[in-house]
A and B are shown apart, each in its own frame.
Chain A
Amino acid sequence: MTAVETLRRTPLYAEHVALGARMVPFAGWEMPLQYPTGIVAEHRAVRGQAGVFDLSHMGEVYVRGARALDAVDRLVSSDVAGLRVGQARYGLLCNERGTIVDDVIVYRVEPETVLICVNASNREKDVAHMRAHLDRGVGLDDVSLETALIAVQGPRAAAILASLAAPVAGGSLESVAPFGVVGANVAGERAWVARTGYTGEDGFEIFVAWDRASRPWTRLLAVGRDRGLAPIGLGARDTLRLEARLSLYGNEIDETTGPIEAGLGWTCKLDKEFIGRDAIAAAKERGPSRRVVGLVVDGGVARHGLAVVKDGREVGVVTSGTFGPTVGKNVALAYVPVALSKIGTEVAVRIREREVPARVVKTPFYSRKEKVGAE
């Protein structure tokens, strides 16, 4: 039996090919890994000017109705019930064991409409999980295959986007607070525009109908090009998020890891009811046995799955690693025993049978200087 995997294509597939992207399979999708200038140049464009990303592979789910907000509050670790209209929050879907089903962003886009953005690789699992736990009468609508997602990130993202987009209610996108979300027209197309992202920079994410995605994309590139905006592939998306120490599902977090050890305890509002709360509260009480730490590796690039070694003994595992173009070092995230998690601890990473020295450092490896607006 031969299983031929058919990869899905986003509505911007032809744009990527025309831009000379190297397309790769990712979570069942054919996605741009990088454009001709390469990952390091793309990374620097986002840190220094701006970048535009096609993230249409990501999943989007609506939960609607008078009880939508409270229903989602019981599914997600963070304070969803406290969201005002036009606010978003990062949180976790957990199971009863207190391990992580997915990490999501919850947007309260209308008084009784909640939009949840989930990882492409987890979409079907998440939808099943949410359906199984939502009360009868609370509708869940998986709009992933009819919703495109375009991100604009970087210090010039707000100015570039504001030159071709404005909130429906009036005013400017530049006055939207971090983690705010508004209905907006983007290059003539109706969209939800949120001040969220996954790069460590200021920026926006644009949820737009599948068949209306190409104008916002091409207009952004046209307007942004002379201000240094570049198209960005999944390669630089990974180096950007890693420098900013943002977790990646399947690397730092999965159904074998809990929020406390993953350093995501801050996303768990333990004084409310949500799936996994009791297990997470107990894990917090006990204290974790291991923790995600940042490593700087001297003399090689640590990669996902490599062993962390101390005094010749395997003590942990690298979850993500790369060369960080902005920090100029080989950086990694790894699970290590709590006793070895202190800043400055010397360990090693086993790379090609060699023990390469590594040091526990403070994270994020990179954080931007200028913060945008206060909430």
Chain B
Amino acid sequence: MSVPDDLRYSKEHEWVRVDGDIATVGITHFAQEQLGDVVFVELPGQGSAVKQFASLGVVESVKAASDVYAPISGEITERNMKVIEKPELVNQEPYGNGWLVKVRVADKGEVGKLLSPADYRAHIGETAPSGA
């Protein structure tokens, strides 16, 4: 599934999964496909503050560097050391082991500013799965 139904999305192709007051953030399947082979990931350290839609880090593919934006504001509680060591996880499992950071959410109301799976599908020009 290239746009899972249990996530929220930004127009800049990040996804977020909110669980209690912790949000897990990554980039979408579409984003990793556009980037191509990811070879380097730069992420803020634990305790850093991030602001919704402001720069969160950088994902570099063989060809280019791309900014990653925070889909939600808060404090970084964890960065995924596995993707720093093995950046290809971003390509292989963008919604799984390829997640980037966990954020202690400052304002859950911000989720309302993100795209639903249906809206994100429309945003990337993907047709909804049949029966949806």
Interface residues of A (CB under 8 A from B): 33-34, 38-41, 235, 239, 300-301, 303, 322-323, 325, 330, 352
Q: Does B31 contact A (CB under 8 A)?
A: no
The residues of A that contact B64 with a CB separation of less than 8 Å are 303
Interchain CB contact under 8 A, A40 and B62: yes
Docked CA distance A352–B68 (Å)? 13
Q: How far is the CB of A118 from chain B (nearest CB, A)?
A: 25
Interchain CB contact under 8 A, B60 and A34: no
The residues of B that contact A322 with a CB separation of less than 8 Å are 62
Interchain CB contact under 8 A, A300 and B40: yes
Interchain CB contact under 8 A, B39 and A303: no
**Also in contact, A300 and B42, with CB within 8 A (given A34-B36, A38-B36, A38-B37):** yes
Contact with A along B19-43 (1 / 0, CB 8 A): 0000000000000000011011010
Docked CA distance A138–B64 (Å)? 45
Using a CB-CB cutoff of 8 Å, which residues 65-92 of chain B contact chain A?
65, 88, 91
Interface residues on B, range: 10 to 19
Q: Does B115 contact A (CB under 8 A)?
A: no
Interchain CB contact under 8 A, B58 and A352: yes
Interchain CB contact under 8 A, A235 and B40: no
The residues of A that contact B42 with a CB separation of less than 8 Å are 300, 352
Interchain CB contact under 8 A, A323 and B58: no
For the complex of A and B, list the 7 residue pairs with the smallest distance between their C-beta atoms, beginning with the closest.
A323-B39, A40-B37, A39-B62, A301-B60, A38-B37, A301-B40, A38-B36
Q: A38-B91, A301-B39, A323-B39 are in contact. List 12 more A-B contacts (CB 8 A).
A: A34-B36, A38-B36, A39-B36, A39-B62, A39-B63, A40-B62, A40-B88, A235-B62, A239-B62, A300-B42, A301-B65, A323-B40
Interchain CB contact under 8 A, B62 and A323: yes
Q: How far is the CB of B84 from chain A (nearest CB, A)?
A: 10
Docked CA distance A322–B37 (Å)? 12
The residues of B that contact A40 with a CB separation of less than 8 Å are 37, 39, 62, 88
Interchain CB contact under 8 A, B36 and A235: yes
**A39, A300, A301: most-surrounded residue (chain B CB, <10 A):** A301
The residues of A that contact B40 with a CB separation of less than 8 Å are 300-301, 323, 330
Q: How far is the CB of A300 from chain B (nearest CB, A)?
A: 6
Residue of A nearest to B91 (CB): A38
Docked CA distance A34–B35 (Å)? 11
Interchain CB contact under 8 A, B63 and A300: no
The residues of B that contact A235 with a CB separation of less than 8 Å are 36, 62-63
The residues of A that contact B37 with a CB separation of less than 8 Å are 38-41, 323
The residues of B that contact A239 with a CB separation of less than 8 Å are 62
